[in-house]
Amino acid sequence: MIDLRSDTVTRPDDRMREAARDAAVGDDVYGEDPTVNELQERVADVLDTEAALLVPSGTMGNQIAVRTHTERGEELVCERESHIYRWELAGPAQHAGVQTRTIDGGERGVISPSQVRRAYVEASDHRPGTGVLALENTHNSRGGTAISPEAIAAAADAAHEVGVPVHLDGARLFNAAVAHGVSAADYAEHVTTVMCCLSKGLGAPVGSMLAGPDSVIEEARRHRKLFGGGMRQAGILAAPGLAALSNRERLAEDHRRADRLAAGLDRVDGLAVEPPETNIVLVTTDRPAEAVLEGWLDAGVRASQFGEHTIRCCTHLDVTDDDIGAAIDAVRNAS
């Protein structure tokens, strides 16, 4: 079975398992886990932020960020197809008590500075104030689009000008950085906080990081405890996370394989595929996606339904060049 559903399906390799086994640990709720502390320092260094915090999932990292940046009754502004809005169970309403205002970022999900200015609401006797702007890069539901540091900076600056903090959902930030040939820090410098996942393209079994200024991360740490994300001997998770950081550069291989997959699938009758920007391939299907996926499954290929006529395929650490060829052949035979 070739599993293209998500880049989260990877299994930790021997190096990660050994790192977990051998990790020095302590109680991280007391701040005493040396491996967690090392990971947090490493990620803060990579992103060039003052601090970073290990959280169990990307969702929790985003939700802690929204909660930390806002007061109850304010507004979160984000892109219409953003993960925070679409795929996190109305978390901002539930955990932070905020209302969400969406902006349509078009086909690539890029929010312009003028859109940010138009969405901004000044608090008054009648209106909730804007509490935070959330951006996403790569933009998952828009097909893994890799937004440039300049475009992120432009939108973020428009928010900062009116005193609004900016959170970057960078679940796949390293994919964006590799696609643009820049460092992840080139994005982080423009935003207040950034979340990135260790458990997606980098291949760690568990874990995401929330990074930003010391004062914000200190408050985020309290919210992590509140949300039930205070973990004890979490060095067991941090150690494979540290090992996963060395998988950043190889993301280019996933992007190359995604290109090849897209080109191959586009040649199959009944499927249309735009060239991908990173490791996510969105396939438009003539027939209902659900029925198409059943055929693929019988042929040994798993992918995710993303819409009535849309399928998402992800390349990742556990997908080889041979797998790409085999997947294209299987899909062609299934159609």
Query: Which residues contact ligand PLP by CB under 6 A?
Result: 57-59, 62, 83, 136, 140, 169, 171, 197, 199, 208
User: Closest distance between ligand PLP and the C-beta of residue 267, in Å?
Assistant: 28
316: left (phi over 0), alpha (psi -120 to 50) or beta: beta
Give the whole-angstrom CA distance, residue 205 versus residue 238: 10
Q: 214-226 vs 58-69: helix axis angle to the nearest 10? A: 110
Based on CB atoms, which residue is closest to ligand PLP, 93 or 272?
Answer: 93
Based on CB atoms, which residue is closest to ligand PLP, 123 or 151?
Answer: 151
Based on CB atoms, which residue is closest to ligand PLP, 171 or 178?
Answer: 171
Based on CB atoms, which residue is closest to ligand PLP, 10 or 208?
Answer: 208
User: Closest distance between ligand PLP and the C-beta of residue 134, in Å?
Assistant: 10
How far separated are the first and last CA of the chain, in Å rounded? 17
| C-alpha torsion sign, points 84, 277, 152, 101 | negative
| Residue recorded with tokens 């979340």 | 195
Query: Are 324 and 260 contacting, i.e. CB atoms less than 8 angstroms apart?
Result: yes
Residue 21 identity (one-letter amino acid): R
Based on CB atoms, which residue is closest to ligand PLP, 171 or 238?
Answer: 171
Residue 127 identity (one-letter amino acid): R
User: Closest distance between ligand PLP and the C-beta of residue 299, in Å?
Assistant: 27
Query: Are 226 and 253 contacting, i.e. CB atoms less than 8 angstroms apart?
Result: no
Give the whole-angstrom CA distance, residue 213 versus residue 233: 25
Based on CB atoms, which residue is closest to ligand PLP, 74 or 169?
Answer: 169
Helices (H) and strands (E) in the chain, counts: 14, 13
Residue 84 burial (10 A CB sphere; 0-12, 13-18, 19+): buried
User: Closest distance between ligand PLP and the C-beta of residue 209, in Å?
Assistant: 11
User: Closest distance between ligand PLP and the C-beta of residue 197, in Å?
Assistant: 5
User: Closest distance between ligand PLP and the C-beta of residue 140, in Å?
Assistant: 4
- Nearest residue to ligand PLP, scored by beta-carbon proximity: 58
Residue 298 burial (10 A CB sphere; 0-12, 13-18, 19+): exposed
Based on CB atoms, which residue is closest to ligand PLP, 10 or 59?
Answer: 59
Contacts of 285 (CB under 8 A, 6+ apart): 270, 271, 292, 309, 310, 311
User: Closest distance between ligand PLP and the C-beta of residue 8, in Å?
Assistant: 6
Based on CB atoms, which residue is closest to ligand PLP, 200 or 328?
Answer: 200
User: Closest distance between ligand PLP and the C-beta of residue 236, in Å?
Assistant: 17
User: Closest distance between ligand PLP and the C-beta of residue 122, in Å?
Assistant: 29
Q: 251-266 vs 173-180: helix axis angle to the nearest 10? A: 80
Based on CB atoms, which residue is closest to ligand PLP, 18 or 318?
Answer: 318
Can you name the residues that pair with 304 across neighbouring β-strands? Answer: 312
Q: Give me the phi and psi of 122, to 5 degrees please.
A: -85, 135
